[in-house]
Chain A
Amino acid sequence: MPNTLKGRDIISIAELSKPEILLVLKNAQELKKHPRPKLLEGLVMGSCFFEPSTRTRLSFETAMQKLGGRVIGFADPGVTSAKKGESLYDAIKIIGQYVDVIAMRHPLEGAARRAAEATDKPIINGGDGANQHPTQTLLDLFTIQECQKKLSNLHIAMVGDLKYGRTVHSLAQALTHFGARLYFVAPDSLQMPAYICDELKTKGVKFSMHKKMEEVIGKVDIFYMTRIQGERFADPMEYEKVKNSFVLKADMLKNAKPNLKILHPLPRVNEIETAIDKTKFAYYFQQAENGLYARQALLAMVLGKI
């Protein structure tokens, strides 16, 4: 299949077709096995982080450098002229004249789409507020495929803050291509939003809602944990109750399938007991590493080099 991502912006996972997603994963796997330290030689990535982020930014920058490209940019909007009232449009138009590709994060929703209008250079969205974060979804899919040796017909639990968590929204949407059976485990007030559930129904995806992790742990191949944040709760007592019932402990994994893998977009606070880290079920650190290969694949593809 030809690389149809050349010159394209990667703003939202929904804009990638199934063959395109599979090609990104294939290229990520190739690059993980066979590093290509000269592939993007002579090319420059603009790393434009209008909002602080450590992992996503470092992963983009390392991805570019490991392929032989260079990086310019900023990690703190305080250093840019955005502070002086310059529009995002103008800022990106100018940066686009210096670089070959832009990776960006911005606190406002739709910022990446707006940025894409300002320049012909490809924009890769590294998160726009609560809206989209497509590279996270691609690295999640890559990791699932890697640890399960397949991507189709898996049983996948999503756990924690399913209402506000954009990673789980995008992942659930992307999994509609792959015949997954989904289990949503969350307190009632943080369950998967209706618009996502409607979309899943329309696409024939089977899913069920659960209140306790124990109900699904023995059934699934992937257990995708997310963090429940205190600020989502109006009532602090409610949060205390919920917080403690959504901590994954090693002894809860007794009935797990042997191939079960636990994922987490990180940072983790206390929702996965550290004792789990050394079990064969823990896969979240490999997942974080895979961000590097997924982003390498995307950079090389939008730049038309693979």
Chain B
Amino acid sequence: MKEKKLLVNAIKNGTVIDHITAGSALKIIRILNLASHEKVVTVGLNLPSKSMGRKDLIKVAERELSPDEVSSVAILAPQASINIVKNYEIVKKFKIKLPEKIESVVVCPNPKCITNHEPMASVFFILPNGKHIKLRCKYCEKVFGHDDIREYRV
């Protein structure tokens, strides 16, 4: 890392979420509740990227994302990559794998869905759909694009 110039600050230990679809970083921050993370979080928006044109990027100091958190990121940025940084070096790097279903995280946008009226977890099946994904509610069976999702519970 020494001679490489980073567009966004270097962190000693933590996670870099890279290759985020431009425009999605702020939603990811919300979904992961990073605003209340006590350590440094740096965000890059609309960074130039060879493969994507523009991308967003988030660096979270002193935290490794749990598998559940990684699946939540997948909803908004299915092609993101996760880099784990230890002592300024990347020790692990992986592409997000889209889970088949995602539990609890997404609030069903259908106000008449049972999940919004019972003390229960939501369940969505994930349907690949190009750069983004679609989600089908297990209960009301409606299909939503990532833009329809307005609320998350984490």
Contacts and interface: CB of A to CB of B under 8 A. Distances in A.
Interface of A: 12, 87-89, 106-111, 113-114, 128-132, 195
B118 A114 contact: yes
Interface string B96-130: 00000000000000101111011110000000000
Contacts of A111: 114, 139
B118 A195 contact: no
A107 B114 CA distance: 9
Contacts of B119: 87
B140 A109 contact: yes
Interface of B is mostly: loop
A130 B112 contact: yes
Nearest to A117: B120
27 contacts: A87-B120, A89-B120, A106-B114, A107-B112, A108-B114, A108-B117, A109-B110, A109-B113, A109-B114, A109-B141, A109-B142, A110-B115, A110-B138, A110-B139, A110-B141, A111-B139, A113-B114, A113-B138, A113-B139, A114-B114, A114-B115, A114-B118, A114-B139, A129-B140, A130-B112, A131-B141, A132-B141
| Residue of B114, B117, B140 with highest tally of chain A CB at under 10 A | B114
B143 interface: yes
| Residue of A89, A107, A113, A129 with highest tally of chain B CB at under 10 A | A113
A103 B113 CA distance: 19
B77 interface: no
Contacts of B140: 109-110, 129, 131
A195 B143 contact: yes
A111 B120 CA distance: 12
Contacts of B112: 107-109, 129-130
B16 interface: no
A130 B142 CA distance: 11
Contacts of A132: 141
Given A87-B119, A109-B114, A111-B139, 9 more contacts: A87-B118, A88-B118, A106-B114, A108-B113, A109-B113, A110-B140, A113-B114, A114-B114, A130-B112
Contacts of B118: 87-89, 114
Contacts of A89: 118, 120
| Residue of A87, A88, A108, A130 with highest tally of chain B CB at under 10 A | A108
B120 A114 contact: yes
Contacts of A87: 118-120
A155 B74 CA distance: 44
Interface string B137-149: 1111111000000
Contacts of B115: 110, 114
